[in-house]
Amino acid sequence: MSSPAAPLASALLRLRFVGAVLLLAVTAAAVGAQPSGQARGTLVIAGGALRPETAEVWTRIVALAGGRGAAIAVFGSASEDPRGSAGDTIATLARYGARAYFVPVATRLAGSDYRRAAADPRNVALVTRARGVYFTGGDQGRITQALVEAAGHRTPVLDAIWQVYRRGGVIAGSSAGAAIMSTTMFHEPAGIFDLLTDGVRPGSDIAAGLGFIGPRLFVDQHVLARGRFARMLPAMLASGYRFGLGIDENTAAVVKGDGQVEIVGRSGAVLLDLGAVAPGATTRPLRLAGARVSLLGPGDVYDPSSQRVTPAARRRAVDPAQAASATPSAATRDILGRDALVDVLVALVAGSAQDVHGVASDAGASRQPGFTFRFSRSDATRAFHADEAALHGYTILDVGLDVVGAEGPAATR
């Protein structure tokens, strides 16, 4: 029998969680609020492991910053070695014609006080004269620590970065440099299975990002290579996001001033929509029904205002009547494995089964049987294909997603 104090303790825990979420929202609003006037720039958000030879991403960054000779300010703030990390990026940008340079604002920069550096007029001037800003990978918490004051206000250098964006420049970043684009970002998250089981903790697993992409779209990176699309679900539910964009490695989302998103690079992206999730969804543990998932490939364009995806012209619609033999729906696939989401979605649209399952379980087997991810087709599901290596050449739209646990089915309508 539980003690009389148990309900009170539970209520206090819920109040603390709600308070943490509200504090996170207030901080995120302060940091990510648009400056006066409509921002007119472009974001290039790379999902990590962006290779120097992936010309379609690097040339786009340089072109958006003004073309050959473009001034691009590079921040290595996320790295343990800010100068070295920035140096590698500067060399790559120079290879594609930019005039890139290091901005010394970082918590790990030896001999530097990052608080003073973020207010130093010389560093502000380095940013102000740029047409582009690039954030390298590492730990995104170091970026926000360096550029946001303890009270949650922008530093002068961060204000200057926003001015670059507002003037029509490009803000780019990879991995950690992608995470900070969200109003809310993953900060120091637990493992994916722990997030599915225990939910997210505001201020720890998630925290305020810099918010360049605005409040409507949650961003994550390494999503296909590391199975991270799954961790986006509890974070989006806890933070009140309907839409999430997960970008894979060696790939970027180019977000124009009007909000349109184009996928460029060598892999793809995942679009999540929680707008039709049924009442009763939970985050501790994750249970939901009615989510929608789409798989986007290079050349695809997503318009948030209309919620339409326009597949690349080279892709042709897949006729469901031409589907192969039935695909087993048994829950045998490790959905958190590398490219597992792609494999499951392709199996669904290339076969004749109405649903395909994947599983997420604890590697230590201490909390089995874990979670079942049920992907299902409907009349709205569409697939497009081209003979190319990226993402098996597929664009797959509007697949249903339910997450079911060991204790029973997800909430249903």
Which CATH class, in words, describes the domain spanning 40-273?
Answer: alpha beta
Q: Among residues of the chain, what percentage have pLDDT more than 90?
A: 78
3-state helix, strand, coil in the chain (%, to 5): 30, 25, 45
Query: In this structure, which amino acid lies at residue 9?
Result: A
User: Nearest CA to 253 among 102, 14, 48, 20?
Assistant: 48
What integer pLDDT is reported at residue 375 of this predicted model? 97
pLDDT band at 179 (very low <50, low <70, confident <90, very high): very high
Q: What is the DSSP letter of 134?
A: E
Domain boundaries, the chain: 40-273
What backbone torsions phi and psi does residue 106 show, to the nearest 5 degrees?
Answer: -165, 145
Task: Supply the pTM of this predicted model.
Answer: 0.90
Listed in sequence order, the DSSP H helices in 326-405 are: 340-350
Bridge partners, 44 (sequence order): 172, 254
What integer pLDDT is reported at residue 390 of this predicted model? 75
pLDDT exceeds 50 at position 73: yes
Q: Residues 273-287: pLDDT tens digits?
A: 999 999 999 999 999
Mean of pLDDT values over 26-32: 56
Positive or negative: CA dihedral 337, 292, 297, 327: positive
User: Nearest CA to 130 among 171, 75, 72, 172?
Assistant: 72
* Residue with more model confidence, 357 or 410: 357
- Which residue carries 């943490």 as its tokens? 20
Three-state DSSP state, 251: strand
pLDDT exceeds 80 at position 65: yes
- Rounded to whole angstroms, how far apart are CA atoms 209 and 186? 8
Are the C-beta atoms of 244 and 219 separated by less than 8 Å?
Answer: yes
pLDDT exceeds 60 at position 17: no
Mean of pLDDT values over 202-216: 95
Q: Residues 223-257: pLDDT tens digits?
A: 999 999 999 999 999 999 999 999 999 999 999 99
User: Nearest CA to 240 among 219, 223, 215, 220?
Assistant: 215
Q: E strands within 92-249?
A: 99-102, 132-135, 170-174, 184-186, 206-208, 217-221, 243-247
* Mean pLDDT of the chain, nearest integer: 88
Are the C-beta atoms of 154 and 27 separated by less than 8 Å?
Answer: no
What integer pLDDT is reported at residue 240 of this predicted model? 96
- Which residue carries 């290339």 as its tokens? 350
- Which residue carries 């539910």 as its tokens? 237
pLDDT exceeds 50 at position 413: no
What integer pLDDT is reported at residue 392 of this predicted model? 79
Q: Which positions ≥6 away from 309 have C-beta within 8 Å?
A: 271, 294, 296, 300, 301, 302, 303, 395, 397
What integer pLDDT is reported at residue 206 of this predicted model? 97
* Residue with more model confidence, 28 or 166: 166
Q: Residues 94-136: pLDDT tens digits?
A: 999 999 999 999 999 999 999 999 999 999 999 999 999 999 9
Specify the DSSP element, H or E, that contains 195: helix 192-198
pLDDT exceeds 60 at position 364: no
Three-state DSSP state, 128: helix
pLDDT band at 9 (very low <50, low <70, confident <90, very high): very low
**Strand 184-186 with 170-174, pairing:** unpaired
What integer pLDDT is reported at residue 28 of this predicted model? 58
